[in-house]
């Protein structure tokens, strides 16, 4: 089971996983499910494939702070706005690397997302890479984002001409993987020329799914229950490592592109002069390739689902796009930020379906949460972001309804702070937030300007979980809009192309 964000012995919070009864002196005051089974805990009605959605059901029943027990370990969950605002206090609380995140450390080690707070490479990498997400850098990425988006629209044009529905999650994954790979690392995975996902994507999905499964079985039994899955996970990790090592090796022979990879390889810390080690460079590249596309693809997929179901929202967004972009074939960087309503659509999507659905916080010292719940140093809680974003005291009795108007400027100003947290909180919040928002706003603008979206009438939203959230089986039919700009030329028909894989084909099974 996951560890805590602790330093060496005597320096920082206690070491190792801490069940809640060790850190919450008055745990008995926190509600729990009524039907607790000996040894197993609160598992009635739970499914191993949907732990987040199961926990959301408990949250609705038990209130803004509650606890669950599974296989001898107790967890505290929080979603009430006042409680989360207190946990966001950086002076008293810090990021906690726990649950599924710590299970990713064999993949990403001390990368930006999975590093413990005491590990020096986190701050080093953050300081070295932060300029890569400045406004100047973002403007430089815009051209590549457009190029990748045009590969997507060429694919969708072919599907529309053939009368085929498009696989939204699959194509959004292709888009966002190519975008982060090309902008950050100068690499083309050839995702749009493949009939099947690139082996890197298959391996990535495998490692994320395995990390989640580790949380659903008793730790002592995992070597037996997940024996085959563990072997596949080792092969998946090896695939990710080989892919990234090839990418880095190629760059060392041709440096000077000025992207994130050059920064990792060539830039020293501005104060200390330290550089990232070769091993940490690999971990950071994997972190960016995985986190930089997995969450954004989910956000775009959920947004397109809602837009297809609410034509009045889509029509208002298109009107804004037509007004702001006019007949320009390729919108400029500055024109994307002017799509304020499209951005509200994206924010409302992230409110209902934050694709990274939780973040954990731990007490730096003994404290009392919101004046009511004592916590010892090292005690931690998991913030359920989808429930925080549905707190009726903040979002109203219709919090389940999709309404981009919630993010009008006046509405945003009227809400208390720390009530909208799709990118985490504090010093360890997502470094690539502005990158993801610019990419997603640009893509939504391009797609809405080009297509009318028709949903499958029989489809009901299903959500698949692999630490992140993604719509399952979402397919849309497309109609080309009669107004608009001349499309770019079509690309060649899809084929199995791109970079030659160095990963074995994964089988199926447990």
Torsion of CA 157, 159, 161, 162, to 10 degrees: 160
Question: What 3-state DSSP class applies to 26?
Answer: coil
The conformational region for residue 323 under phi > 0 = left, psi -120 to 50 = alpha, else beta, is: alpha
Contact present, 360 and 95 (Cβ < 8 Å): yes
Structure-token match 């996951």, residue found = 2
295 is catalytic: yes
Neighbours of 265 (CB within 10 A): 15
Neighbours of 202 (CB within 10 A): 17
Q: Which of 349, 359, 430, 441 is catalytic?
A: 430
Q: Do the bridges between strand 358-363 and strand 380-384 make them parallel or antiparallel, or are there none, so unpaired? A: antiparallel
Q: Which of 66, 189, 423, 435 is catalytic?
A: 423
Any residues with CB less than 8 A from the CB of 480 and at least 6 apart, and which? 157, 160, 450, 451, 452
Query: DSSP letters of 164-178?
Result: PPEEHHHHHHHHHHH
Cα distance between residue 410 and residue 408, in whole Å: 6
Q: Where are the alpha helices (DSSP H) in 310-416?
A: 311-325, 333-337, 340-352, 385-388, 392-395, 409-414
Contact present, 219 and 86 (Cβ < 8 Å): no
Cα distance between residue 418 and residue 425, in whole Å: 8
Structure-token match 């888009």, residue found = 175
- Buried b / exposed e along 321-333 (16+ C-beta atoms within 10 A): beebbeeeeebeb
CA 29, distance to chain mean position in Å, is: 33
183 is catalytic: no
Number of H helices, E strands in the chain: 20, 12
DSSP state, 34?
Answer: S
Strand order in the sheet with 358-363: 65-70, 73-78, 380-384, 358-363, 93-95
CA 161, distance to chain mean position in Å, is: 32
Burial class (CB in 10 A: 0-12, 13-18, 19+), 168: buried
The conformational region for residue 315 under phi > 0 = left, psi -120 to 50 = alpha, else beta, is: alpha
Question: What 3-state DSSP class applies to 471?
Answer: strand
Cα distance between residue 58 and residue 335, in whole Å: 43
- Token couple for 458: 């029989």
Cα distance between residue 501 and residue 508, in whole Å: 19
423 is catalytic: yes
Active-site annotation, residues = 295, 423, 430
């Amino acid at each position: 089971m996951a560890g805590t964000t602790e330093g060496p012995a005597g320096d920082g919070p206690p070491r190792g996983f801490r069940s809640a009864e060790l850190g919450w002196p008055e745990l008995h005051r926190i509600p729990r499910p009524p039907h607790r089974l000996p040894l197993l805990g609160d598992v009635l009605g739970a499914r191993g494939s949907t732990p987040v959605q199961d926990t959301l059901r408990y949250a609705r029943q038990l209130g803004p702070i509650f606890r669950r027990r599974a296989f001898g370990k107790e967890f505290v969950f929080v979603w009430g706005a006042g409680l989360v605002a207190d946990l966001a206090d950086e002076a008293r609380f810090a990021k906690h690397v726990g649950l599924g995140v710590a299970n990713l450390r064999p993949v990403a080690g001390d990368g930006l997302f999975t590093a413990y707070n005491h590990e020096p490479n986190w701050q080093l990498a953050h300081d070295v890479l932060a300029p890569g997400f400045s406004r100047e850098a973002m403007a430089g990425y815009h051209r590549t984002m457009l190029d990748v988006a045009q590969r997507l629209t060429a694919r969708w044009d072919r599907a529309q001409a053939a009368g085929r529905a498009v696989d939204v999650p699959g194509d959004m994954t292709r888009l966002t993987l190519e975008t982060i790979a090309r902008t950050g690392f100068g690499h083309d995975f050839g995702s749009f020329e493949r009939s099947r996902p690139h082996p890197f994507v298959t391996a990535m999905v495998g490692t994320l799914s395995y990390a989640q499964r580790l949380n659903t079985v008793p730790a002592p039994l995992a070597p037996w229950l997940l024996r085959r899955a563990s072997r596949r996970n080792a092969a998946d990790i090896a695939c990710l490592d080989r892919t990234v090592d090839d990418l880095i090796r190629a760059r060392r022979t041709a440096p000077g592109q000025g992207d994130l990879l050059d920064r990792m390889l060539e830039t020293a810390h501005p104060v200390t002069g330290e550089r990232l080690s070769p091993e940490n460079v690999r971990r950071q590249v994997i972190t960016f390739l995985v986190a930089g596309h997995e969450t954004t693809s989910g956000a775009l997929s959920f947004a397109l689902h809602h837009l297809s179901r609410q034509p009045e929202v889509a029509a208002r967004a298109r009107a804004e796009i037509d007004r702001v972009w006019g007949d320009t074939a390729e919108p400029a960087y500055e024109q994307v930020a002017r799509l304020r309503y499209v951005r509200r659509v994206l924010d409302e999507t992230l409110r209902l379906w934050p694709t990274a659905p939780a973040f954990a916080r731990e007490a730096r010292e003994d404290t009392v949460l919101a004046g009511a719940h004592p916590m010892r140093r090292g005690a931690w809680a998991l913030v359920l972001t989808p429930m925080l974003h549905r707190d009726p005291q903040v979002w109203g009795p219709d919090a389940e309804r999709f309404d981009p108007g919630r993010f009008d400027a006046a509405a945003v100003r009227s809400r208390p702070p720390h009530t909208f947290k799709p990118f985490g909180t504090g010093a360890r919040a997502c470094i690539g937030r502005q990158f993801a928002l610019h990419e997603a706003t640009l893509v939504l603008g391009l797609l809405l300007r080009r297509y009318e979206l028709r949903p499958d009438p029989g489809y009901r939203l299903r959500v698949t979980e692999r630490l992140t959230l993604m719509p399952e089986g979402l397919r849309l039919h497309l109609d080309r809009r009669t107004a608009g700009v001349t499309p770019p030329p079509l690309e060649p028909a899809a084929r199995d192309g791109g970079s030659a894989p160095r990963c074995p084909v994964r089988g199926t099974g447990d």
